Structure 1
Amino acid sequence: MKFIWVLSGKRIKRGLMLIVALFFALGIFYAEQQNIEVFMPLDPGPAAVYSVETDKKQIALTFDISWGEERAGPILDVLEQKGIKKATFFLSSPWAETHPDIVKRIVDMGFEVGSHGHRHENYSTLSEDQIRTQIRKAHHILSGLTKTEPNLIRFPNGDFDKRVLKIADDLGYTAVQWDTDSLDWMNPGKEKIVQRVTSKAHPGDIVLMHASDSSKQLHEALPEIIDDLKKKGYQFVTVSELIAGAEVELNPVD
């Protein structure tokens, strides 16, 4: 009887160890699942578009305009001379309201118009009501001038936070940033602008440029940029076309 009791005790001990091990494994699995939910939320919320994932040699040239009247014309001239029929212009609504003739030319040339907001200030510093007011006011003005309701927005100074993205999304807007920044507003010289854009450009890229009067050298650099990208086989598309035809690279805000 003693031998049988010892053998049964060993079996019981093994069984208890197996049960403990099972509960330990289940605990680790649960903890890992909880970590996944914390660090990889199922719904991260609205995010800004910086570029798209694509094998196609497509690129979107974008131009911000918030002030001035001297640089937009020469830049449009270059686009016309080079046969570029697809580009996206992000217009500040006060500027657009005071330059309807230039806005009309942009629209007549077939270019896409997005919103650059109303007052040119950092939206992350505004209250939620102020953010809504700025976006709605710009929407009303740009819709009236272009006869088309914009659905893309690039916030002034590229500044935003989670609140700004959420409000823009609620109002039917997609936030658009950029992957290649020409830094044309710094006026570093034509060659440096050309080199910066052409060396960084890639399929699915969104390129930031400016047609405000602060950008004094872009109209000189733009012909060489276009020629170089054409030689490399790039097709010029609007931001909307780029987004519609490829997987979007989204950058949510922490």
Structure 2
Amino acid sequence: MNFIWVWHAKMLKRYMIIGIAAFFTAGILYVESPFLPVFSPEGEPAAIHRVNAERPELALTFDISWGEEQLNPILDILAEENVDEATFFVSAAWAERHPELLNKITEAGYEIGSHGYRHEHYTRWEEEAIKKDIQKAHQILSELTEEAPQLLRPPNGSFDERVLNVAESLNYDVIHWSIHSHDWENPGVEAIVENTTTNVENGDILLFHASDSAKQTAEALPIALEKLKKEGFSFVTVSQLLTGAEVKAEEIN
């Protein structure tokens, strides 16, 4: 039976890890990850889907690959709810078409992660095609934001061992999620709220969408945020959640 390794993390001293990592990353292009590369016990790279955090912090993430109508309402809601930290995984093809919208995300201070270039399943591609897509997205997002992305959420959240190996070779950390809103299915506002506020734990990574296919997210989001805040949770970026992390493995078949 084949397994994909997904990791939990526990917070450690940040600067000690950065110092150690510097010896291994010196001279390598685009190495800017704030924590050590993630490996399974077999030495294989892994995806991260949550952090085993002591504090009641959640990483709020949004995927966006097409459309221009849903992003602005979502940004307005985040501002109204005083959510200063979130991570947007952006398709570089979308960013090319809508640089002004990408700029709104960065001006608001939110973190940008790569969602690849073409929004297609990497698991159906050859490794060289996966590599070229990640590199193309990296170049475009770096130029548009003037900051090199460090985090990758593969298009459609689709990855296998090959995808993880390619991402690791390009010094990316693959980010999955532990709480899925299923908002792209438009199941109804109540369902989206239920999906994102039930059985939530410290260190969870929440997935929403800011593409135009997710037509109910803007209505559900303030309700979910208010409920989570009442339960004592605060919101951070993925990088903030992962910084200074010691990894522990969990296998998912």
Q: CA deviation at 1:249?
A: 5.5
Residues 7-46 of structure 1 mapped to structure 2, 5 A cutoff: 42-46=41-45
Alignment RMSD (CA, Å): 1.5
Once superposed, which parts of structure 1, at least 4 consecutive aligned residues long, lie more than 6 Å away? none
Which deviates more, 135-144 or 119-128?
Answer: 119-128
Query: 2:201 aligned with 1:180, yes or no?
Result: no
Q: What's the TM-score once normalised by structure 1's chain length?
A: 0.81
Aligned to 1:124: 123
Aligned to 1:90: 89
Aligned to 1:64: 63
Aligned to 2:105: 106
Q: CA deviation at 1:54?
A: 1.4
CA 1:108/1:249 → structure 2, altered by over 3 Å: closer, same or farther?
farther
Q: CA deviation at 1:44?
A: 3.3
Partners of 1:66 and 1:250 in 2: how far apart? Answer: 30
Aligned to 1:191: 190
Code of the residue aligned with 1:175 in structure 2: it is V
Secondary structure of residue in 1 paired with 2:165 = helix
Query: 2:140 aligned with 1:136, yes or no?
Result: no
| Higher relative helix content | 1
Aligned to 1:237: 236
Matched residue pairs, number? Answer: 214
Secondary structure of residue in 2 paired with 1:208 = strand
Partners of 2:172 and 2:245 in 1: how far apart? Answer: 18
Q: CA deviation at 1:165?
A: 0.5
Q: CA deviation at 1:127?
A: 1.2
Q: CA deviation at 1:246?
A: 4.5
Aligned to 1:227: 226
Partners of 1:247 and 1:171 in 2: how far apart? Answer: 21
Partners of 2:56 and 2:244 in 1: how far apart? Answer: 12
Q: CA deviation at 1:244?
A: 1.1
For residues 213-250 of structure 1, the C-alpha deviation after alignment (integer angstroms, 9 at most, x for no partner) is 01000100111111111111111100011011544455
Partners of 1:81 and 1:249 in 2: how far apart? Answer: 36
Q: What's the TM-score once normalised by structure 2's chain length?
A: 0.81
Q: CA deviation at 1:43?
A: 3.1
Q: CA deviation at 1:121?
A: 0.9
Code of the residue aligned with 2:114 in structure 1: it is S
Q: CA deviation at 1:130?
A: 0.6
Cα pair 1:53 1:246 within 8 Å, conserved: no
CA 1:252/1:149 → structure 2, altered by over 3 Å: closer, same or farther?
farther
Code of the residue aligned with 2:47 in structure 1: it is A
CA 1:225/1:248 → structure 2, altered by over 3 Å: closer, same or farther?
farther
Runs of 5+ consecutive residues of structure 2 not aligned to the other structure = 1-39
For residues 53-108 of structure 1, the C-alpha deviation after alignment (integer angstroms, 9 at most, x for no partner) is 11210000100000011001100110011111100000000101111111111001
* Identity in percent: 50
